[in-house]
Amino acid sequence: MLRKRATAPFDLPDDDLLVAKKRSGMGYYILFKRMIDLLLAAILLLLLGPLFGLIGLAIKLDSAGPVFFAHERVGKNGRLFRMYKFRSMHPAADPYAVSPLSQEDPRITGVGKIIRRLCLDELPQLFNVLRGDMAIVGPRPEMPFIVAEYNKIHMERLRVLPGMTGLWQIHGDRSQAIHEDIDYDLDYIQRMSLFLDATILARTMLFVLMAIIPEKEESTHFD
């Protein structure tokens, strides 16, 4: 599989196939969505400050290496940015290898197993939301070597801000990786609305709560 890291933004096709269908009224939606994202991200960062400290301490006590992990991803309009996470794997692990499919993956640390199962490692992406790199809800940002293989339809994912969670993350059947099953993202782009965003966010919270006591080994991680 190609793993060459991109050093420049990706070019999108001139004709936006999906977003053009939503052109009317999109300006107000984008404005209100951004305002809500900023408000929620700021409030959550303030409220979760003590939790950030506890997770950071646990990571440092559990294994050598930094508390945070920065990963290069492709954002809106093909712009590259660094997405933040709490480090859940050993520092020697290849950051651009295939994501772990099981909690027993030897690359995952002891604390990493816990924070990945509860999706707590994703919380630092609230900083990405404040910076304008991401939204709370949207298509999941992909790695450059995966976007390099996109076709014209796949590139439509890059018309909107990537999100911390989306339709794929809350769907029950996630046997395929995100980049192998983008129908959910394309469907989201066509149906974007504040109501849909609120629904996805509510179901994400429920999904994470259900992961606290899993009935079977199934990754709830968003990657």
- pLDDT tens for each residue of the chain, 223 residues long: 334 444 456 666 555 555 555 555 678 899 999 999 999 999 999 999 999 999 999 999 998 889 999 989 999 999 999 999 999 988 888 777 777 777 777 888 999 999 988 889 999 999 999 999 999 999 999 989 889 888 888 888 898 999 999 988 887 555 556 656 688 888 898 889 999 999 999 998 888 787 666 554 445 566 6
62, 111 in Cβ contact below 8 A? yes
Domain ranges, residue 192? 19-211
pTM of the full structure: 0.82
Note whether residue 3 is domain-resident.
no
Place of tokens 């969670």: 165
CA gap 80, 101 in Å, rounded:
26
Note whether residue 53 is domain-resident.
yes
Query: Tell me, what's the pLDDT at 53?
Result: 96
Note whether residue 126 is domain-resident.
yes
Note whether residue 152 is domain-resident.
yes
Note whether residue 121 is domain-resident.
yes
Tell me which H or E stretch contains 51.
helix 49-62
CA gap 153, 44 in Å, rounded:
34
Query: Tell me, what's the pLDDT at 91?
Result: 84
Note whether residue 92 is domain-resident.
yes
Query: Tell me, what's the pLDDT at 34?
Result: 96
Name the residue among 71, 82, 78 with its Cα closest to residue 9.
78
CA gap 189, 210 in Å, rounded:
27
Name the residue among 111, 129, 112 with its Cα closest to residue 33.
129
Query: Tell me, what's the pLDDT at 131?
Result: 96
Query: Tell me, what's the pLDDT at 94?
Result: 76
Q: What are the residues whose beta carbons fall under 8 Å from the beta carbon of 129, sequence distance 6 or more?
A: 37, 38, 40, 41, 135, 136, 164
112, 88 in Cβ contact below 8 A? yes
Note whether residue 94 is domain-resident.
yes
CA gap 157, 49 in Å, rounded:
32
How many domains are contained in the chain? 1
Note whether residue 7 is domain-resident.
no
